[in-house]
Amino acid sequence: MNLRAALVLLAAAVPELASGHAVVQPADSSVGTTQQYTLRVPNEKDVPTVAVRLQFPAELEVATVDEPAGWHLTLDRDATGRIVSATWTGSLPPKADARFTFTARNPAAAVTVTWNVVQTYDGVLIVEWTGPAGSRTPASHTDIH
């Protein structure tokens, strides 16, 4: 097997590392449980990431959102007090990645939830990780079953 073929196989086997996009883990979870989730955001640019915004799927009930050292957390709530999004502001250097954790109650019925993430770089460059699978900016998904 030549080197190029080996790299293609490796990229297919490890999509979240090869594609470098914002990913929420786990990719699979159970209905009705309280789950700790982790958002991993890489910085692939030559300037720092200065903000990360995560829109929480309506099907989940977010209980807690962690504020990692060096980051400032802002939560948005709807009229009922439900947490609907989180924005972390700070500085993520080039070629590094950050992990943001939160806990949510999964719905009682099976569903696939979509995680929409907006990553803002210094200089106002914005990348929206909200696209369909296979796009240049795909949203992450979790299958709850």
- Extract the tokens encoding 127: 């990348």
Q: Express each pLDDT in 37-87 by its tens digit.
A: 999 999 999 999 999 999 999 999 999 999 999 999 999 999 999 999 999
Q: If you search the block for the tokens 């073929």, which residue do you land on?
A: 5
Total structural domains in the chain?
A: 1
Q: Express each pLDDT in 2-50 by its tens digit.
A: 434 333 333 333 333 334 689 999 999 999 999 999 999 999 999 999 9
Q: Is residue 10 part of a domain?
A: no
Rounded distance, CA 110 to CA 113, Å?
A: 10
Range of the domain at 107: 20-144
| Strands lying side by side in the sheet with 23-25 | 23-25, 34-42, 97-105, 61-65
Q: Is residue 14 part of a domain?
A: no
Find the CATH number of the domain harbouring 133: 2.60.40.2230
Q: Is residue 8 part of a domain?
A: no
Could you tell me where the beta strands, DSSP code E, fall in the chain?
Answer: 23-25, 28-29, 34-42, 49-55, 61-65, 72-77, 83-92, 97-105, 111-121, 125-129, 140-144
Q: Is residue 93 part of a domain?
A: yes
